[in-house]
């Protein structure tokens, strides 16, 4: 390309290559799924506050709308299909974390490229596949996701990061399960928050069991543990024109709902941290 007198402006683009040898995590999170962005509740009228929350707007079931969680998982699988450098992903609520290999050289490890491409691939898929998961609820707002790239310098810090997210899934889900049980039983949201403030998990488990006949540990693992996406061998069976069947194995992103805090998950999959 011929040089022009304007070309000097290119120098203003800063180098944002991520440190070599570190795990790269890109975490994205839905914008304003329950909070009202840009306006404190007191500053705007209540109907507006309600209307601008993505979950309320699309009548997400509380505490967990499984359709929305499956849609998140699907968008994450699309990102992993697109970017083979991603080793695994972890998702809960309105967030997903994507782990790029330590030695990944994709886009020269430029943070803005990785963050923007992951986020647009995810968001685009979320929109494109919405109707399959919410056939009776038209998409009434533009879903938006913020994202960041964070570096983890060792296998241990990466595992601690993922443990942190899964522990968060559990803490939030236990709280939200109690909160919505109380609200559905007639308490106001203020009363429900007040009753749960400062309580330990034993109290919450007992509350669910004795007042609502609910054994927390029997709730779906998807809700309690979040979603882990890893590549696994999937067998596809094809029937040929002459009626014979042919099997083909492919590595494909698969969604699991299992513990990733303890060692077992990692011992069964040594390639993840290799």
Residues lying near Mg ion in the complex (CB under 5 A) are found at 29-30, 33, 93-95
Which residues, including other chains, have CB under 8 Å from residue 85's CB and lie 6 or more apart? 100, 101, 104, 106
Contact with ligand ATP (CB under 6 A): which of 23, 60, 90, 122?
60
Contact with ligand ATP (CB under 6 A): which of 29, 56, 252, 259?
29
Considering only residues 191 through 230, tell me which ones interact with ligand ATP, judged by CB under 6 A.
Answer: none
Q: Using CB distances below 5 to 8 A depending on partner kind, what does residue 9 bind out of Mg ion, ligand ATP, none?
A: none
Distance of CA 73 to the CA centre of its chain: 7
φ, ψ of residue 53 to 5 degrees: the values are -95, 125
CB atoms within 10 A of CB 153: 12
φ, ψ of residue 229 to 5 degrees: the values are -110, 120
Q: Does 33 bind ligand ATP (CB under 6 A)?
A: yes
Let me know: does 19 contact 151? Beta carbons within 8 Å: yes
Contact with ligand ATP (CB under 6 A): which of 25, 26, 28, 69?
69
Q: Does 65 bind ligand ATP (CB under 6 A)?
A: yes
Q: Does 49 bind ligand ATP (CB under 6 A)?
A: no
What stretches of the chain show up as alpha helix (H) in DSSP?
Answer: 46-51, 54-57, 66-82, 111-133, 155-184, 189-196, 201-212, 221-225, 264-268
Cβ distance to ligand ATP smaller for residue 35 or 170:
35
Which 3 state secondary structure label does DSSP give 102? Answer: coil
Q: Does 35 bind ligand ATP (CB under 6 A)?
A: yes
Q: Does 73 bind ligand ATP (CB under 6 A)?
A: no
Which residues, including other chains, have CB under 8 Å from residue 94's CB and lie 6 or more apart? 29, 30, 33, 54, 72, 145
Q: Using CB distances below 5 to 8 A depending on partner kind, what does residue 69 bind out of ligand ATP, Mg ion, none?
A: ligand ATP
From the list 41-49, 57-65, 209-217, 243-251, the region that binds ligand ATP by CB under 6 A is: 57-65
Considering only residues 89 through 128, tell me which ones interact with ligand ATP, judged by CB under 6 A.
Answer: 93-94
Cβ distance to ligand ATP smaller for residue 196 or 273:
196
| Residues linked to residue 156 through DSSP beta bridges, in sequence order | none
Applying CB under 6 A, the residues found at the interface with ligand ATP are: 29-35, 37, 55, 60, 62, 64-65, 68-69, 93-94, 176
């Amino acid at each position: 390309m011929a040089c022009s007198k304007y070309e000097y402006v290119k120098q203003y683009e800063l180098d944002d290559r991520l440190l070599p040898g570190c795990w790269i995590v890109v975490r994205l999170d839905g914008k304003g799924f329950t909070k009202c962005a840009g306006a404190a509740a007191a500053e705007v009228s209540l109907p507006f506050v309600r209307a601008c929350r993505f979950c309320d707007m699309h009548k997400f079931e509380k505490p967990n709308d499984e359709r929305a969680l499956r849609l998140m998982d699907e968008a994450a699988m699309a990102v992993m299909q697109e970017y083979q450098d991603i080793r695994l992903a972890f998702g809960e609520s309105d967030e997903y974390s994507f782990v790029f290999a330590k030695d990944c050289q994709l886009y020269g490890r430029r943070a803005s490229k990785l963050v923007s491409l992951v986020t647009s691939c995810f968001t685009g898929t979320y929109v494109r596949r919405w109707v399959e998961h919410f056939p009776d609820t038209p998409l009434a707002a533009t879903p938006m996701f913020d994202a960041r790239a964070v570096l983890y310098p060792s296998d241990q810090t990466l595992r601690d990061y993922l443990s942190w997210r899964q522990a968060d899934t559990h803490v939030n889900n236990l709280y939200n399960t109690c909160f919505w049980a109380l609200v559905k039983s007639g308490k106001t949201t203020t009363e429900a928050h007040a009753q749960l403030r400062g309580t330990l998990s034993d109290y919450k488990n007992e509350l669910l069991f004795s007042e609502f006949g609910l054994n927390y540990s029997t709730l779906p693992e998807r809700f309690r543990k979040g979603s882990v996406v890893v590549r696994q061998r999937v067998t596809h069976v094809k029937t040929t024109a002459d009626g014979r069947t042919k099997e083909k194995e492919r590595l494909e992103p698969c969604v699991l709902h299992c513990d990733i805090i303890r060692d077992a998950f990692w011992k069964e999959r040594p390639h993840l941290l290799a």
